[in-house]
């Protein structure tokens, strides 16, 4: 027999960094290393079954698919072995030598940014194989690939800086065995009670038998195929936690069996909290696809559209062929029918919740709404999608209130043909915006949008039932005028007489001159009530905030030109007419017009430089303090 040479390799820098954190810290959640290793074994068995279904020739084809765990308390040794796909030497170097889990590198990034405590996220994301070094002083892997004629290999490391690999001459069977020599403070993991309870807690639903010293200890049931009536709430919760690593109960459970025209079972969950809390689980969505209990694909991304990515769970089909390749799934008619049906199930479920338990739905919306909203391009389900949208509205008491399009429509005024909305940073800002004044006067409800995405939603869906969605910036005043006023209070100001009308119109001309090409036009306003002026967007297609986003995207900073509207029934404007009449060249007119224009820009988020506005205000305040002391006779 030839002497095999042991080769030494150094861990890559990022792995060293990860190991350093894992080796030297004492995490309360370190028991999850066992979950990670069992899940690797289960993946290895799934991969093998997949190969076997494809007709690939497999080494030791008669070995059962199973995971075996043994322990030796005296030696502080825990051993996990599986009859899965195994690894060649090249596999070992590339798989165990790099950080495979995208979660692991994100985990490191989060720690480096000090954004979070490792203990909080280690359990949730797992860091794969390396987590074993939370409990191990030495790890030995012996593995033999399912491929014919590959030698068995041994990998050994203390997790400190390097690892060794050597070819084995012994004739070992297909699969992987991992020997874990436990640290003194982790020797409990070589005790039966501890091992069993950790497996029951985290790995109970693994779909291959797990033997602990030859006794099978996991349930191995495909819960989703059981009749609903036989499943307890506890079982659902347990399965959910197994599936997601979430330690909270799910918000909702959707369990459906479909018999015709295609046959499948789905068991879906909506988590209480969105997993995307650091923005790093974005790619980590999808449902597990089974065919007759055999896992075909983990986290399949085509069973549900991305905007429903917060839904976790399992779909098991009776009709797909077992040897279907993942690459051709999307072109498979049966698969597409299943995916349409699953999407429909989720949307109908949500619609029912929204109707029957609005408070529960509000809880859902607050957590997942911002992802759900991304569904504005799901044209097949547009109506259902739109009905599930929620916004804050002028009709709600505060910023927490939620309103649906249906509710809005049910409260619409006689003859109202459009649904109105306005975007702003907060309820306080939107509700005092000059654009809203006419709506208050007419008692027309306005949806308040605070998330820039809401505007994209509105401008891409464009309609709800027969009603056009309109930004209050883009209304046709004629349509609004037709609707009755609610406020019958006497107007504060008398109508302008003929002469005053002429003066007002000359004042407007003067304003045009002052503002020049900074505005499209200056006009008398029909929409203002409490404010002296506002800017109107002449762009039919885009609202101011959308234009702002576009400008930011194009790195173009010049705001779009708008029309300045002037409220003649405002004290300031009435006084301005008088000043103008006395002396059309009075400096006060200039200052006031500039001020009105810039404040309107400020409200629209269009004012690029506030310096001149601020110094003008200071100058005007100084003047008014003089007038104030004179009028009040203060010396």
Binding interface with ligand ADP (CB under 6 A) = 36, 40-41, 44, 82, 84-87, 95-96, 100-101, 128-129, 176
The CB-of-291 to ligand ADP minimum distance in angstroms stands at 22
The total of other beta-carbon atoms located within 10 Å of residue 118's CB is 17
Question: 157 or 547, CB closer to ligand ADP?
Answer: 157
Question: 96 or 122, CB closer to ligand ADP?
Answer: 96
Question: 87 or 535, CB closer to ligand ADP?
Answer: 87
Question: 203 or 595, CB closer to ligand ADP?
Answer: 203
The total of other beta-carbon atoms located within 10 Å of residue 325's CB is 12
HEC states along 450-470?
CCHHHHHHHHHHCEECCEEEE
The CB-of-206 to ligand ADP minimum distance in angstroms stands at 13
Question: 142 or 427, CB closer to ligand ADP?
Answer: 142
Which residue's Cβ has the minimum distance to ligand ADP?
A: 128
For residue 564, what are the β-bridge partners? 522, 535
The CB-of-100 to ligand ADP minimum distance in angstroms stands at 4
The CB-of-278 to ligand ADP minimum distance in angstroms stands at 18
Question: 96 or 287, CB closer to ligand ADP?
Answer: 96
The CB-of-281 to ligand ADP minimum distance in angstroms stands at 14
The CB-of-193 to ligand ADP minimum distance in angstroms stands at 25
55-to-21, 48, 50, 555 alpha-carbon distances in Å: 43, 11, 9, 56
Question: 81 or 471, CB closer to ligand ADP?
Answer: 81
From the number of C-beta atoms within 10 Å of its C-beta (0-12, 13-18, 19+), residue 144 rates as: buried
Question: 132 or 447, CB closer to ligand ADP?
Answer: 132
Question: 35 or 255, CB closer to ligand ADP?
Answer: 35
The CB-of-184 to ligand ADP minimum distance in angstroms stands at 25
The CB-of-176 to ligand ADP minimum distance in angstroms stands at 4
Question: 85 or 311, CB closer to ligand ADP?
Answer: 85
The CB-of-292 to ligand ADP minimum distance in angstroms stands at 24
> What are 108's two structure tokens?
């490191």
SS3 content of the chain, % helix, strand, coil (to 5): 45, 20, 35
DSSP string, 239-264: HHHHHH--SSPPSEEEEEEE-SSS-E
Question: 66 or 406, CB closer to ligand ADP?
Answer: 66
> What are 558's two structure tokens?
């010049």
> What are 137's two structure tokens?
């002083």
Question: 125 or 361, CB closer to ligand ADP?
Answer: 125
The CB-of-399 to ligand ADP minimum distance in angstroms stands at 41
**Residue 96 φ/ψ, nearest 5 degrees:** -85, -15
Closest of 208, 234, 232, 237 to residue 222, by C-alpha? 208
The CB-of-22 to ligand ADP minimum distance in angstroms stands at 12
154-to-7, 93, 144, 245 alpha-carbon distances in Å: 11, 11, 9, 31
**Long-range contacts from 53-60, C-beta under 8 angstroms, 24+ separation:** 53/294, 53/322, 53/323, 54/323, 54/325, 55/323, 56/146, 57/148, 58/146, 58/174, 59/86, 59/144, 59/145, 59/146, 59/147, 59/148, 59/174, 60/146, 60/173, 60/174
The Cα 73–Cα 560 span in angstroms is 76
The CB-of-84 to ligand ADP minimum distance in angstroms stands at 5
The Cα 297–Cα 327 span in angstroms is 11
| Virtual torsion, Cα 626, 627, 630, 631, nearest 10 deg | -150
282-to-286, 300, 302, 591 alpha-carbon distances in Å: 10, 14, 15, 51
> What are 293's two structure tokens?
């209990």
Starting at the edge strand found earlier in the chain, the sheet holding 77-82 runs 7-10, 162-168, 152-157, 136-144, 175-182, 77-82, 67-72, 210-212, 215-216
CB 36 within 8 A of CB 127: yes
The CB-of-121 to ligand ADP minimum distance in angstroms stands at 15
**Residue 104 φ/ψ, nearest 5 degrees:** -65, -45
Question: 139 or 289, CB closer to ligand ADP?
Answer: 139
Question: 128 or 271, CB closer to ligand ADP?
Answer: 128
The CB-of-43 to ligand ADP minimum distance in angstroms stands at 6
450-to-320, 370, 544 alpha-carbon distances in Å: 45, 11, 14
Largest Cα span, the chain: 116
């Amino acid at each position: 027999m030839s002497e095999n040479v042991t080769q030494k390799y150094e861990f890559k820098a990022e792995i060293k960094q990860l190991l350093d954190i894992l080796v030297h810290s004492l995490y309360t959640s370190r028991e999850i290393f066992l979950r990670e290793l069992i899940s690797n074994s289960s993946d290895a068995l799934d991969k093998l079954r997949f190969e076997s279904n494809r007709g690939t020739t497999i080494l030791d084809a008669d070995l059962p698919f199973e995971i075996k765990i043994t322990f030796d308390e005296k030696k502080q040794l825990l051993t996990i072995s599986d009859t899965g796909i195994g690894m060649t030497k090249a596999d070992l170097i590339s798989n165990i030598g790099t950080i495979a889990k995208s979660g692991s590198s994100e985990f490191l990034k989060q720690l480096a940014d000090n954004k979070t405590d490792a203990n909080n996220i280690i359990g949730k994301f797992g860091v794969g194989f390396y987590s074993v070094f939370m409990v191990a002083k030495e790890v030995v892997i012996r593995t033999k690939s399912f491929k014919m004629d590959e030698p068995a290999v041994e990998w050994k490391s203390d997790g400190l800086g390097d690892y060794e690999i050597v070819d084995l001459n012994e004739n070992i069977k297909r699969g992987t065995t991992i020997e874990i020599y436990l640290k003194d403070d982790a020797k409990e993991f070589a005790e039966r009670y501890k091992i069993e309870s950790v497996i029951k807690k985290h790995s109970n639903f693994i779909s291959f038998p797990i033997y602990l010293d030859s006794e099978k200890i996991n349930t191995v049931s495909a819960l989703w195929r059981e009749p609903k009536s036989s499943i307890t709430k506890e079982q659902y919760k347990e399965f959910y936690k197994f599936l997601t690593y979430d330690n909270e109960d799910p918000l909702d459970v959707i369990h459906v069996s479909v018999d015709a025209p295609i046959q499948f079972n789905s068991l879906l969950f909506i988590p209480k909290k969105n997993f995307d809390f650091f923005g790093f689980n974005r790619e980590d969505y999808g449902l597990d696809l089974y065919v007759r209990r055999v896992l075909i694909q983990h986290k399949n991304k085509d069973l549900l559209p991305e905007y429903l990515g917060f839904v976790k769970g399992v779909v098991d089909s009776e009709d797909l062929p077992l040897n279907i390749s993942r690459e051709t799934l999307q072109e498979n008619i049966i698969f597409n029918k299943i995916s349409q049906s699953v999407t429909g199930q989720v949307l109908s479920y949500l619609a029912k919740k929204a109707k029957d338990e609005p408070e529960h739905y509000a809880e859902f919306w607050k957590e997942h709404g911002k992802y759900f909203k991304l569904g504005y391009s799901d044209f097949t389900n547009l109506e259902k999608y739109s009905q599930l949208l929620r916004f804050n509205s002028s009709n709600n008491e505060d910023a927490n209130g939620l309103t649906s399009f249906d509710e809005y429509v049910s409260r619409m005024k006689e003859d109202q043909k459009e649904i109105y909305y306005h975007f702003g940073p907060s309820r306080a800002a939107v509700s005092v915006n000059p654009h809203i004044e006419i709506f208050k006067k007419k008692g027309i409800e306005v949806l308040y949008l605070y998330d820039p995405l809401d505007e994209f939603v509105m401008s891409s869906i464009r309609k709800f039932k027969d009603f056009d969605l309109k930004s209050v910036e883009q209304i046709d005043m004629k349509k609004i005028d037709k609707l009755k006023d609610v406020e019958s209070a006497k107007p504060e100001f008398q109508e302008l007489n003929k002469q005053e009308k002429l003066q007002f119109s000359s004042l407007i001309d003067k304003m045009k001159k002052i503002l020049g090409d900074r505005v499209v036009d200056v006009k008398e306003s029909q929409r203002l009530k409490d404010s002296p002026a506002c800017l109107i967007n002449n762009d039919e297609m885009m609202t101011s905030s959308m234009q702002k986003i576009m400008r930011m995207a194009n790195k173009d900073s010049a705001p779009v030109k708008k029309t300045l509207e002037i409220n003649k029934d405002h004290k300031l404007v009435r006084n301005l007419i008088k000043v103008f009449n006395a002396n059309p060249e009075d400096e006060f007119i200039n200052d006031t017009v500039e001020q009105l224009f810039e404040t309107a820009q400020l409200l629209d988020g269009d004012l690029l430089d506030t310096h001149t506005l601020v110094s003008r205000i200071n100058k005007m305040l100084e003047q008014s303090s003089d007038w104030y002391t004179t009028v009040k006779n203060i010396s």
